[in-house]
């Protein structure tokens, strides 16, 4: 049955080889059989520029290139950890960068996809932080810094984020119900797929009096998580690495 796959929040890094191995197996097994693969952000734990020579990045690019050359197109939406993934890296993977909100028409269904961080509007501290680091001039300045300084800044930000999160209420870090409804109404969809919150679930909703659903992808900590969309189903799946 023709289908497309969606994943997010793998947080790939050198320190977690089991997750990388799980992703590479997923690319060879599941993704090959899909009509398209959509990566909805936070593929990497942290991205500080396409010029970072980390061997992990080259390995992932080579495997994604193999997938895209074999005939499965791959699309990428930035996450809050890898919003600096650029055209150069995307090109080396053969994948297409999408805007932060994208409406798809798949198998007769309209589906909105995004990373999910923009829906967390109650997290004012994060939204302020996001607004700052998304300023093009600041990104250009950051990318012009030597790699070791960028690594240092990224580590400081990660530490700052961990500290801030430890004192934040759990509900603040989830999506805001009105933000969800507004985004879905804006794009005229009854299905939304996103990641970011690491709270995998299928939430039934009512949007403008019509039944709708929000599917949340899981993070790849100890198992993989994907959503498969075909003509017959839209389903959240977990699988071992």
**Toward ligand LP5, which CB reaches closer, 26 or 44?**
44
User: Minimum Å distance from CB 174 to ligand LP5?
Assistant: 8
d(CA 97, CA 92): 12
Of 79-87, 89-97, 126-134, 214-222, the segment contacting Mn ion by CB under 5 A is 79-87
Instruction: Check: CB of residue 204 under 8 Å from CB of residue 228.
Output: no
Binders in 10-39 for Mn ion, by CB under 5 A: none
Instruction: Check: CB of residue 121 under 8 Å from CB of residue 96.
Output: no
Strand pairing category for 210-216 and 234-239: unpaired
**Toward Mn ion, which CB reaches closer, 145 or 236?**
236
Given candidates 30, 57, 72, 79, which one binds Mn ion under the rule CB under 5 A? Answer: 79
**Toward ligand LP5, which CB reaches closer, 69 or 162?**
162
Instruction: Check: CB of residue 233 under 8 Å from CB of residue 25.
Output: no
Q: Which residue is nearest to Mn ion (CB)?
A: 196
Residue 156 within binding range of ligand LP5, rule CB under 6 A: yes
Question: Structure tokens of 50?
Answer: 């396409």
d(CA 103, CA 54): 33
Instruction: Check: CB of residue 82 under 8 Å from CB of residue 54.
Output: no
> What are the residues binding ligand LP5 (CB under 6 A)?
46-48, 80-81, 84, 117, 120, 123, 125-126, 129, 133, 138-139, 142, 153-154, 156-158, 160-162, 164-165, 168, 173
């Amino acid at each position: 049955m023709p289908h497309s796959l969606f994943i997010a929040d793998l947080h790939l890094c050198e320190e977690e080889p089991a997750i990388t191995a799980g992703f590479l197996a997923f690319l060879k097994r599941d993704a090959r059989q899909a009509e398209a693969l959509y990566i909805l952000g936070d593929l990497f734990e942290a991205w500080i520029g396409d010029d970072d020579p980390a061997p992990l990045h080259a390995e992932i690019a080579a495997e994604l290139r193999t997938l895209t050359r074999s005939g499965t197109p791959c699309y990428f939406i930035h996450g809050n950890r890898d919003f600096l993934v650029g055209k150069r890296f995307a090109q080396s993977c053969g994948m297409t960068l999408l805007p932060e909100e994208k409406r798809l028409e798949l198998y007769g269904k309209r589906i909105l996809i995004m990373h999910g961080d923009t829906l967390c509007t109650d997290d004012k501290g994060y939204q302020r932080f996001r607004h700052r680091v998304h300023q093009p001039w600041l990104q250009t300045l950051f990318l012009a810094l030597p790699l070791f300084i960028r690594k240092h800044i990224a580590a400081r930000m990660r530490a700052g984020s961990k500290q801030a999160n430890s004192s934040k209420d759990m509900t603040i870090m989830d999506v805001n119900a009105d933000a969800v409804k507004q985004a879905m109404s804006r794009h005229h969809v009854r299905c939304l797929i996103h990641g970011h919150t690491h709270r995998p679930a299928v939430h039934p909703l009512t949007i403008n009096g019509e039944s709708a659903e929000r599917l949340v992808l899981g993070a790849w900590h100890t198992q993989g998580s994907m959503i498969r969309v075909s003509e017959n189903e839209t389903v959240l799946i977990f699988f071992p690495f």
